[in-house]
């Protein structure tokens, strides 16, 4: 793509990398930020470029998603690297970390090379592969972690499945200590979760479904923290969802354990009560809505309770939770339009992430500065040893930015998704907040079209 030239006037720049939060004008010429300051567009000095009125808008560094499932190679009917990148750009993400549960899995340098080569074809956003902890993600034999790092991986995970064997986790953390890359665990004791569809509690009882207890996550978080405390390495907790997990992570950080954590927009905004009917916070004995048992709400880990959400939000505010990551997990129609127990786990997250997070801002639950911090600087801290730290919004750098509108209504319509998956539990719901413009490496990779 050709480099862009444009100006944005009177925009609020929130740049966590440089601790900037002020209203300025900005000029971008051939993709390079050439000037930032006040009154850059006086009539006598107006440059020969398109100028966007940024009044009441926010300009942020491009978002970074630590947890994206691109499904490519192997399940291109659900998503391809190209459609995933385009969906990410629409969501304001200029860098995404691709998870390794593809077919074949990302357990060798050849598959890493395929992902990197394929992503570079399209000149869109940056894709950073996560490699497998074990060969074939089978949990039996450790992968060639050194080779995976040298090939370009920025972390290791068997996501989709936990690293169940504690000895394997110990070895992975010891490698992590030397490689400087995080081991990202999907914390689930499958003997407790039993692949249930919903959180264990009043809602699962009301629906007549087997429940997934918080302890299935808590026990493995505690195990991994103890291993990291003993053997070192960088432990990263994927998609934390319980109140106790937040407590354990906080205790570990206070003890000096090298542990980081992420939370998803859906775990911050939706509870298990949505299974009674979307957005319903009603008595469990009230008759169920027509949208009860929605399989599009089935995620792993499951949607939890209000108490858990409150703890997760506290974790974000206090820095216990380092990053917000989408866990974008697109599925084909046949994977979801079935019984709840038979449906696949996963939610389409890239294109709705900012809109969901903006709803927390409008409810005075999270400040927009906190949200942007967790989507940028917080995410960078997790993979800091494998990437060059973004320089942020400063003069002389390529524009890697996203323009945000907090106040315009956005109605979620799945058929308008760029992702190959058009499924969402948010179908038809209206929120305030959207991404207007995304520039990656100086080029426009997404622009909102109001027509």
Contact indicator for 118, 85 with CB cutoff of 8 Å: no
Q: Note the pLDDT tens digit of each residue in 318-377.
A: 999 999 999 999 999 999 999 999 999 999 999 999 999 999 999 999 999 999 999 999
Phi (first) and psi of residue 48, to 5 degrees: -85, 65
Q: Note the pLDDT tens digit of each residue in 275-313.
A: 998 766 666 667 787 889 999 999 999 999 999 999 999
Burial per residue of 45-67, b for 16 or more beta-carbon CB atoms within 10 angstroms, e otherwise: eeeeeeebebeebbbbbbbbbbb
Total domains in the chain come to 2
Asked whether residue 228 falls in the same domain as residue 324, the answer is yes
Q: Quickly state the pLDDT bin for 111 (edges 50, 70, 90).
A: very high
User: Domain of 412?
Assistant: 6-59+396-447
Asked whether residue 441 falls in the same domain as residue 363, the answer is no
Shortest CA distance to 239 belongs to which of 299, 171, 158, 317? 299
0.85 surpassed by pTM: yes
Q: Which of 72, 107, 159, 327 is catalytic?
A: 327
Cα(153)–Cα(166) distance, rounded to whole angstroms?
A: 23
CATH number for position 22: 2.30.40.10
Answer yes or no: is 88 within a domain: no
Has 218 been annotated as catalytic? Answer: no
Answer yes or no: is 259 within a domain: yes
Cα(329)–Cα(70) distance, rounded to whole angstroms?
A: 8
Asked whether residue 289 falls in the same domain as residue 161, the answer is yes
Any bridge partners for residue 14, and if so which? 21
Residue 243, H or E segment:
helix 243-255
CATH number for position 161: 3.20.20.140
In the numeric block, which tokens belong to residue 7? 């100006």
Q: Note the pLDDT tens digit of each residue in 414-425.
A: 999 999 999 999
In the numeric block, which tokens belong to residue 348? 């389409």
- Res. 438: pLDDT tops 60: yes
Shortest CA distance to 375 belongs to which of 156, 89, 66? 66
């Amino acid at each position: 793509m050709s480099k862009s030239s444009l100006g944005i006037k009177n925009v609020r720049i929130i740049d966590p990398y440089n601790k900037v939060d002020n209203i300025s004008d900005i000029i971008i010429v051939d993709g390079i930020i050439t000037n930032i300051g006040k009154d850059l567009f006086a009539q006598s000095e107006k440059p020969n470029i398109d100028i966007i009125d940024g009044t009441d808008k926010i300009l942020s560094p491009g978002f970074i998603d630590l947890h994206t499932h691109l499904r490519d190679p192997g399940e291109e009917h659900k998503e391809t690297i190209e459609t995933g990148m385009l969906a990410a750009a629409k969501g304001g993400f200029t860098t995404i970390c691709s998870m390794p549960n593809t077919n074949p899995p990302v357990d060798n340098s050849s598959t890493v090379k395929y992902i990197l080569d394929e992503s570079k074809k399209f000149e869109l956003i940056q894709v950073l592969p996560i490699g497998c902890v074990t060969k074939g993600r089978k949990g039996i034999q450790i992968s060639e972690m050194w080779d995976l790092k040298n090939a370009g991986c920025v972390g290791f995970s068997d996501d989709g499945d936990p690293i169940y064997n504690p000895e394997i986790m110990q070895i992975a953390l010891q490698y992590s200590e030397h490689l400087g890359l995080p081991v990202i665990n999907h914390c689930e004791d499958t003997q407790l979760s039993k692949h249930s569809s919903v959180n264990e509690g009043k809602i699962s009882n009301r629906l007549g479904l087997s429940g997934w207890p918080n302890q299935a996550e808590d026990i493995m978080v505690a195990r991994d923290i103890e291993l990291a405390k003993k053997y070192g390495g960088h432990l990263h907790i994927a998609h934390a969802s319980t109140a106790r997990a937040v407590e354990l992570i906080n205790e570990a950080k206070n003890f000096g354990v090298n542990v980081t954590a992420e939370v998803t927009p859906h775990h911050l905004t939706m509870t298990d009560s949505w299974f009674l009917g979307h957005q319903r916070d009603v008595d469990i004995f009230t008759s169920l809505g027509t949208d009860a048992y929605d399989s599009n709400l089935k995620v792993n880990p499951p949607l939890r309770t209000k108490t858990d959400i409150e703890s997760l939000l506290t974790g974000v505010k206090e820095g216990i939770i380092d990053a917000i990551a989408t866990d974008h997990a697109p599925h084909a129609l046949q994977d979801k339009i079935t019984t709840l127990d038979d449906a696949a786990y996963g939610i389409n997250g890239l294109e709705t992430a900012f809109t969901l997070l903006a709803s927390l801002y409008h409810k005075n639950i999270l400040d927009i500065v906190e949200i942007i911090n967790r989507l940028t600087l917080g995410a960078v801290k997790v993979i800091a040893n494998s990437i060059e730290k973004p320089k942020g919004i400063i003069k002389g750098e390529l524009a890697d930015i996203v323009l945000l509108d907090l106040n315009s209504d956005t109605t979620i319509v799945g058929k308008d998704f760029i992702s190959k998956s058009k499924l969402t539990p948010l179908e038809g719901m209206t929120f305030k907040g959207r991404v207007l413009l995304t520039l990656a490496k100086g080029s426009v990779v997404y622009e909102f079209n109001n027509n």
